Amino acid sequence: MISRLLRSPQAGLSLVILIAAIGLALTAGSHVDPATGNNVNNFLNAHTLFQMATDASGFAIMAVGATIVIISGGIDLSAGAVYALAGVVMAMVLRAVGPLDPVLTVALGLGTCIVVSLACGIANGVMVVGLQVHPFIITLGTMWIVRGIAFVASHAESILVPPALTHVAKASLGLNPTLSPVPLLAMLGVGTLGSIYLTRTVMGRHIFAVGGNAEASRFAGLPVQRIRLGVFVLSGLTAGAAAFLGASFYGSATSSDANGYELYVIASAVVGGASLTGGKGSAVSAMLGAMLIVLIRQAIRTLHLDQNYEWIIIGGAMIVAVVLDQGGTKLVARRVAAAAGRNPTSSMPPAPESK
Amino acid sequence: MASPAVRFSGVTKRYPGVVALNGVSFEVAAASCHAVCGENGAGKSTLGKLLSGIDRPDGGAIEIDGRPVRFASPAEALTAGVAMVHQELASCANLSVAENLCLGAMPSRWTFVDRAAMRARAIELLVDIGSEIDVTKPMSTLSVAEQQLVQIASAVGSGARIIVFDEPTSSLSEGEAARLYALVRRLTARGTTLIYVSHRMPEIFRLSDHVTVLRDGEHVATRATTELDESELVQLMIGRKLDQYFPSHVGAAPREELLSVRGLSSPGKFYDISFSLRAGEVLGLAGLIGAGRSEIAKALFGLDPNVTGQLRLDGKPVQIRSARDAMRLGIGLVPEDRKVEGLVLSMSGRENVTLPVLDRVSTRSWIRSSEERAVAQKYFERLRVKVASADAPASGLSGGNQQKLVLARWIAAGSKILILNEPTRGVDVGAKAELHAWIDQLASEGHAILLISSELPELLHLATRIIVLRQGRVAGEVARESADQESLLRMMAGLDAAAHPPASTRARA
């Protein structure tokens, strides 16, 4: 079991995160909790950890969608904008209908987010497939268009969402009332679903095939265009889910929400080992990638480093992570090649005997 | 005769699984045109690659003007005066003729391109070889022959003394051939040495002073062209007793007709193709590169949107608009290039085999893992795919095993009609024999097989009938009993139909 874990593709990244977390815990120092009088580690305490999970949840959920697109050989730059539009439209719809039963409010909110993000995803996919334009360009365009729609629709105001939503998103689920495990659970849930989708279903397998070799997939009779369209729908949906969670948790939505998230999201997927040439990636790894980025941000705060350096550090760390991952891939490839050289696979075996 | 411009001594080149050249030695006289010919896979293109610095020999030596050379790159070869004229690769299609000709040494004034000087230089280079192509035209608007001329001009202008012509993939018109002929005379007259890699008889006899024949990577003969006639040359190229290489296969008696093709056409690719394919038979499709063989295979598999014509399957008219349609109708295609069209190299062998049949091992899109493994394992064993694990990536497998994966995929899919496009290209001898036995066995199990191959012996021994294509049309059909390599080769090249120059004009004393 342990050896299987060690050999899993996530082993390297998990180890890096673990080491970074231990290092941070050891150097973070501690403070006295005024409520209990206990001495607590500045990093390793329930409150900070849940806070980090909440920070990570938004783009970790979207990173699962981004990874699916990247595995298919595409890219989606519009995720952050879709997040903003879904949040804004949900807030406006809920404000327009006025007070409702809490369950209805949550259902209507979630439904609105899903409808909006689904529409954006379909628009992206239809344009990429129908216009035969590279997804980078299409989603760069829709990124501005969608955020622009959110801006115009909301008049650039911050719109409050009903407290019913916040109650759900901040529910303590029986833990200490100051802790909010819902974003963490949502993140783990989406990661698990994404992982199962990619590794256990026919559609998931088709996505890997199209990203690995679209031409060969066409020759194997796969509906390549439909698969290419579908991944954008999924990416849109994860943005909608993240928007519902985010707007509910923070209690409001504006057109500038999740600004720049598209790049955090792609960075998470890439740090998680997804290849921009397609055919390679993992939903769980993308989530781990998101966690690593959040961990770095947290380290800057916990260690009282100058926050102005945040972007420089994250940028550098991302490049280092990808280079390390590539080095590891090459090493594995060389080992495989060496093993193949030792036992050549071709000899002169007998032909099928039944004649 | 002058001292040799190029001397190959014992040149050997191995590619994974294949010995492309085995101890080849011969000399190329300076200021002559030297043809290198042989069947597909004889090693003639490899020779050109070694001389022009694209690849490096594993053994033996290449001398130029008496000095041994070993080029690390085409640029290095060019510096030494060796240039390669490659049909489609070596130009930037988006740039103009003038820009292409001056690419290496762009005339400039204060870092700005001096357009007038560039055009003047380009015209100068073209006039030098007697061509009047408009230098402002984009390269992409030129005919193949014109592009070839531009490359020759570029090679001559760069001071190349030895020019290697790689195998032309499309034939030249009568006028173009005449111009090329004049140009070759002009170049050799001023001391340039030409090496012409081809298997096209008419051009070889019109252009060359000497011919070197290669066969299976071995040097067979080097003769003065005037000492040979066409049938002698064909004999030298074929040379062997076929039975030594290909054990005879016994096809089963053909049964009912599975597929009927009537008037299949795709503009620019092939025209008015008709044939019928029966269960239990292997129908061969022969033709030179560019004759339309692969295009027909793709069209039958639903990958050509412009195709017209009638298809009947089991007597019923059908439409095949996509690969999915073809699959549903029980047609499988093993494509020409297994790495580009056949396999997803980043996926495992198992995943590659089950790719088109996933819906059969899944419930509502949920893949039943153990069942998928069982299916893959079954065909791995049946076809004797040799891998350490079915989960190993397909990229690490040998050519023969990779090809078996693609074949296994369609057998697993239950395809009744199998279109095999160059199924044994680039696989080693052992795997080749195995694949041949498989083709035979699949036919006897009642599959209908359309076999496309550039290797005539393969067709002659596996196919029940052979259809010969030439320039997109059916040139003829021969039964196995009455077919031989020479007649097929003649039919493919259009030798019987097209008038070739009489001996008096092609012979040059």
* CA-based nearest distance A279→chain B, Å: 7
pLDDT the model gives residue A171: 87
B232 and B155 in a common domain: yes
Is residue B88 assigned to a domain? Answer: yes
CB-based contact A339 B433, cutoff 8 Å: no
* Main-chain phi, psi angles of B132, to 5 degrees: -125, 40
Which CA distances in Å does A346 have to A351, A354, B19, B376, B390? 13, 22, 15, 19, 16
Backbone dihedral angles phi then psi of residue A310, each to the nearest 5 degrees: -50, -50
Largest CA distance in chain A: 86
Beta partners for residue B418, in sequence order: B332, B449
H or E element in which residue B251 lies = none
Decide if A18 touches B, using CB distance below 8 A: no
Does B396 contact A at CB distance below 8 Å?
A: yes
Query: Contacts by A185-193 with C-beta closer than 8 Å and gap 24+?
Result: A186/A57, A186/A61, A186/A241, A186/A245, A187/A53, A187/A56, A187/A57, A187/A60, A187/A61, A187/A287, A190/A60, A190/A61, A190/A64, A190/A238, A190/A241, A191/A60, A191/A61, A191/A64, A191/A283, A191/A284, A191/A286, A191/A287, A193/A64
Residue A212 C-alpha, separation from nearest chain B C-alpha, in angstroms: 6
Q: Which residue of A has its CA nearest to B381?
A: A352
Quote the CA–CA distance of B385 and B360 in Å, as a whole number: 22
Q: How close does chain B come to A121, measured CA to CA in Å?
A: 22
> Helix H segments across B13-114?
44-51, 74-79, 97-101
- In this complex, do A205 and B351 lie within 8 Å of one another by their Cβ atoms? yes
Q: Which residue of A has its CA nearest to B297?
A: A219
Residue A347: the pLDDT is: 36
Residue B336 counted as domain residue: no
- Whether B398 contacts chain A with CB within 8 A: yes
User: How far off is chain B from A335, nearest CA to CA, in Å?
Assistant: 11
Whether the CB of A341 is below 8 Å from some CB of chain B: the reply is no
ipTM above 0.85, yes or no: no
Of all residues in chain A, the one with the smallest CA distance to B353 is A220
The reply to whether residue A336 touches residue B333, judged by beta carbons under 8 angstroms, is: no
**Boundary (domain end) residue, out of B215, B243, B271:** B243
By C-alpha distance, the chain A residue nearest B419 is A219
The pLDDT assigned to A354 comes to 38
Amino acid letter, B497: A
What pLDDT is recorded for position B508?
39
**One domain, residues B225 and B140:** yes
Distance, in Å, from the CA atom of B386 to the CA atom of A347, rounded to the nearest integer, reads 9
pLDDT in tens, B190-233: 889 999 887 677 778 888 899 999 888 889 899 999 888 877 88
- Quote the number of domains for chain B: 3
User: B387 CB near a chain A CB, below 8 Å?
Assistant: yes
Q: How confident is the model at residue B418 (pLDDT cuts 50, 70, 90)?
A: very high
Tokens representing B228 are 């040979």
Report yes or no: B367 and B394 within 8 Å, Cβ to Cβ: no
Q: How far apart are CA B321 and CA B326, in angstroms?
A: 8
Note whether residue B508 is domain-resident.
no
Decide if B403 touches A, using CB distance below 8 A.
Answer: no
Beta bridge partners of B197: B36
SS3 of residue A339 by DSSP = helix
Query: Does B368 touch chain A if contact means CB atoms closer than 8 Å?
Result: no
* B422 in the same domain as B408: no
B199 and B211 in contact (C-beta within 8 Å)?
A: no
Q: Cβ of A223 under 8 Å from any chain B Cβ?
A: yes
Residues B75, B181, single domain; the answer is yes
The Cα A40–Cα A302 span in angstroms is: 13
Sequence-distant (≥ 6) Cβ neighbours of residue A202 within 8 angstroms: B358, B359, B362, B365, B366, B367
Q: Are the C-beta atoms of residues A307 and A215 closer than 8 Å to each other? A: no
Could you tell me if A354 lies within 8 Å of chain B, comparing CB atoms? yes
Q: What are phi and psi of A225, to 5 degrees?
A: -65, -40
The tokens for A155 are 């008049």
Q: Is residue A338 within 8 angstroms of chain B, CB to CB?
A: no
Would you tell me the crossing angle of helices A135-154 and A102-131 to the nearest 10 degrees?
140
- Chain B, window 235-254: residues with a beta carbon less than 8 angstroms from a chain A beta carbon: 250
Q: What is the extent of the structural domain holding B404?
A: 344-413
Question: What is the per-residue pLDDT for B506?
Answer: 38
Are the Cβ atoms of A354 and B441 closer than 8 angstroms? yes
Q: Which residues contact B368 (CB under 8 A, 6 or more apart)?
A: B361, B362
Give pLDDT, residue A328. Answer: 66
B419 in Cβ contact with B342 (< 8 Å): no
CB contact B331 to A (< 8 Å): no
For residues B219 and B95, membership in a common domain is answered with yes
* Burial of B246: CB neighbours in 10 Å, binned 0-12, 13-18, 19+: middle
**Residue B438 to residue A352, Cβ atoms within 8 A:** yes
Contact B367, A200 (CB under 8 A): yes
Across the interface, whether the CB atoms of A347 and B393 are under 8 A apart is answered no
Helices (H), chain A: 2-7, 11-27, 46-71, 79-97, 102-131, 135-154, 163-169, 182-200, 202-212, 214-219, 224-250, 261-271, 283-302, 310-342
Q: What is the pLDDT of residue A231?
A: 97
Same domain, B141 and B76: yes
Tens of pLDDT, residue by residue, chain A (355 residues): 566 666 667 777 888 888 888 888 888 888 887 777 777 888 888 888 888 899 899 989 999 999 999 999 999 999 999 999 999 999 999 999 988 898 999 999 999 999 999 999 999 999 999 999 999 999 999 999 999 999 999 998 999 999 999 998 888 888 888 888 999 999 999 999 999 999 999 999 999 999 999 999 999 989 999 999 999 999 999 999 999 999 999 999 999 998 888 888 999 998 888 888 888 899 999 999 999 889 988 888 888 888 888 888 888 888 887 787 777 666 665 665 555 444 433 333 334 433 3
| Chain B residues near residue A279 by CB distance under 8 angstroms | 344, 346-347
pLDDT of B444 above 90: no
The burial class, CB within 10 Å (0-12 / 13-18 / 19+), for B503 is exposed
A333-353: buried (b, 16+ CB within 10 Å) or exposed (e) per residue?
eeeeeeebeeeebbeeeebee
Determine the CATH number of domain A40-318.
1.10.3470
Reported as a single tens digit per residue, the pLDDT across B75-119 is 888 888 898 887 555 667 788 888 888 876 777 777 777 888 888
By C-alpha distance, which of B276, B329, B279 is closest to B321? B329
| CB-nearest partner of A349 from B326, B359, B430 | B430
Mark whether B133 and B170 lie in a shared domain.
yes
Residue pLDDT, tens place only, B285-334? 998 877 888 899 999 999 999 999 999 999 899 999 999 899 999 999 99
Q: What is the pLDDT of residues B241-256, one digit of tens each?
A: 444 445 555 556 778 8
Q: How far apart are CA A342 and CA A338, in angstroms?
A: 6
Window B:439-458, CB contacts with A under 8 Å: 441, 444
Pair B204, B303 in one domain: no
**Are residues B341 and A215, on separate chains, in Cβ contact within 8 Å?**
yes
pLDDT at B8: 93
Q: Specify the pLDDT at position B128.
A: 81
Q: Cβ–Cβ of A339/B397 closer than 8 Å?
A: no
A287/B contact by beta carbon, under 8 A = no
Mutate to test the interface with B, among A345, A348, A354, A355 (most CBs of B within 10 A): A345
State which residue of chain B sits closest to A347, comparing Cα positions: B430
| Cβ–Cβ pairs < 8 A, chains A and B | 116
Based on the domain organization, do B320 and B213 belong to the same domain? no
**Nearest beta carbon to residue B365 from set A203, A216, A355:** A203
Residue from B328, B344, B447 whose CB has the most chain A CBs within 10 Å, to mutate:
B344
C-beta atoms of A208 and B351 within 8 A: yes
Domain check: are B419 and B297 in the same one?
yes
User: Does the beta-carbon distance from A221 to B341 stay under 8 Å?
Assistant: no
**Cβ <8 Å between A345 and B327:** no
Torsion of CA A229, A231, A232, A238, to 10 degrees: 150
Q: Are residue B17 and residue B108 in the same domain, yes or no?
A: yes
Asked if B172 contacts B180 with a C-beta cutoff of 8 angstroms, the reply is yes
**Both B424 and B403 in a single domain?**
no
The verdict on a CB contact (< 8 Å) between A202 and B346 is no
pLDDT tens for each residue of B10-66: 999 887 656 788 899 999 999 899 999 877 667 887 888 889 888 889 989 999 988
Q: Compute the nearest-CA separation of B402 from chain A (Å).
A: 11
A85-134 tens-digit pLDDT = 999 999 999 999 988 898 999 999 999 999 999 999 999 999 999 999 99
Question: Which of the two residues, B148 and B253, has the higher pLDDT score?
Answer: B148
Which CATH number goes with the domain that contains B171? 3.40.50.300
- Nearest-by-Cβ selection for A212 from B347, B397, B437: B347
Q: What is the mean pLDDT of residues B349-353?
A: 92
For A343, which residue in chain B has the nearest alpha carbon? B388
* The last residue of a domain, from among B367, B394, B413: B413
**Is the per-residue pLDDT at B176 higher than 80?**
no
Q: Which residue among B213, B243, B273 closes a domain?
A: B243
B335, part of any domain: no
Cβ distance B438 to A217 less than 8 Å, yes or no, reads: no
